[in-house]
């Protein structure tokens, strides 16, 4: 690996850490400007001013914001995400199971959507400007244009209510078998696949079409190679960098952007956990979930940048 590549990779990692630090600042500021009073939401409207003042003091709300930020950041770096204000439970323990559920849902959706998107992209290129290409583009664009919650309720109505193939809610428990877990997450996976499929498919198609204009593709055509072999063996490997980028972006969405889908299907993941505690104004929980979402998103995007650097021959062999 050349010095230039090492330098670029190091810069991307440093930029990722800097972005994560900036995200912690935004998360902290965002939770501080949330409407309402934490102490009031915990004690209720009938609480006396003395009780509210005592609770604010116990929670450290009377301290300067800068002190509270550095205290929260220091604890988070040590793995201490704090305690939930509403139930007194350790946030890290409560989140661990929820995070596993979200990652399981995202992994299932990725296993279905990524190969399907790449295959449809290859198929669209193979039959460019013909009816298969137009039909694939029309269907995928139609699905991505529908809001997630509407798409979720449509799938729920037909699959769960009308056909009764699957349960209407995605409830998972630790004692469930693997098959039962797959059955429980099937409908959320269908919705998430529809949501991310169009973006990945169209980017795959565009990246391969861009490579198809190269001179070596014309040489392969003159050799008499089949169209699909040219696309799969010659164009696809050279289009891997933009494809990896879009795949990583959609993986980040599958982990971070599943809030609406989890709420629609009552799935016990990070998104549902966040929504429940935002309504209760449980600031430590909101901060912890926001930090985890930001870390996952930045990690996957940084990974995409590093893969793109390593996959680019011009960076591996600088002149």
DSSP 72: H
pTM value is 0.79
Instruction: Say what the pLDDT of residue 41 is.
Output: 64
Residue-wise pLDDT for 177-226, tens only, equals 878 888 888 888 888 888 888 888 888 888 777 777 777 777 777 777 77
Which CATH homologous superfamily contains domain 91-282? MetI-like (1.10.3720.10)
Q: What is the pLDDT of residue 64?
A: 75
Query: pLDDT, tens digit, for every residue of 242-253?
Result: 777 788 888 888
Whether residue 57 contacts residue 39, with contact meaning beta carbons closer than 8 Å, is answered with no
What is the DSSP code string of 122-175?
A: HHHHHTTTSHHHHHHHHHHHHHHHS-HHHHHHHHIIIIIIIS--S-SS----TT
Cα–Cα–Cα angle for 60, 65, 67, rounded to 5 degrees: 75
Quickly tell me which residue has 């994560």 as its tokens.
20
Provide mean pLDDT across the span 221-246: 73
Domain boundaries, the chain: 91-282
Q: Which two tokens stand for residue 224?
A: 């008499």
All residues at 6 or more sequence positions from 265 whose CB lies less than 8 Å from its CB, including other chains = 152, 156, 168, 169, 170, 187, 188
From 281, 283, 256, select the one nearest 270 (Cα to Cα): 256
- Give me the residues paired with residue 83 across strands: 90
- Percentage of the chain surpassing pLDDT 90? 4
State residue 22's pLDDT score: 93
């Amino acid at each position: 690996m050349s010095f230039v590549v090492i330098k670029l990779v190091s810069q991307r990692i440093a930029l990722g850490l800097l972005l994560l630090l900036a995200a912690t600042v935004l998360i902290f500021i965002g939770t501080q400007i949330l409407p309402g009073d934490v102490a009031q939401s915990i004690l209720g409207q009938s609480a006396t001013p003395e009780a509210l003042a005592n609770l604010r003091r116990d929670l450290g709300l009377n301290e300067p914001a800068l002190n509270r930020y550095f205290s929260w950041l220091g604890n988070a770096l040590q793995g201490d995400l704090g305690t939930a204000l509403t139930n007194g439970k350790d946030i890290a323990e409560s989140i661990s199971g929820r995070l596993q559920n979200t990652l399981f849902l995202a992994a299932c959706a990725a296993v279905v959507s990524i190969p399907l998107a790449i295959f449809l992209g290859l198929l669209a290129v193979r039959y460019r400007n013909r009816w298969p290409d137009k039909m694939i583009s029309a269907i995928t664009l139609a699905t991505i244009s529908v809001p997630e919650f509407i798409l979720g309720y449509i799938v729920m109505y037909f699959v769960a209510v009308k056909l009764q193939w699957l349960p209407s809610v995605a409830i998972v428990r630790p004692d469930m078998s693997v098959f039962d877990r797959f059955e429980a997450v099937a409908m959320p996976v269908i919705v998430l696949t529809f949501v991310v499929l169009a973006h990945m498919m169209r980017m795959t198609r565009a990246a391969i079409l861009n490579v198809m204009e190269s001179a070596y593709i014309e040489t392969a055509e003159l050799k008499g190679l089949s169209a699909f072999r040219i696309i799969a063996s010659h164009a696809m490997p050279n289009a891997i960098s933009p494809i990896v980028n879009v795949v990583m972006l959609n993986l980040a969405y599958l982990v971070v952007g599943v809030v609406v889908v989890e709420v629609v299907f009552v799935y016990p993941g990070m998104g549902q956990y966040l929504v429940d505690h935002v309504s209760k104004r449980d600031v430590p929980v909101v901060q912890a979930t926001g930090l985890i979402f930001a870390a996952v998103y930045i990690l996957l995007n940084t990974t995409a940048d590093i893969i793109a650097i390593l996959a680019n021959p011009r960076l591996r062999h600088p002149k």
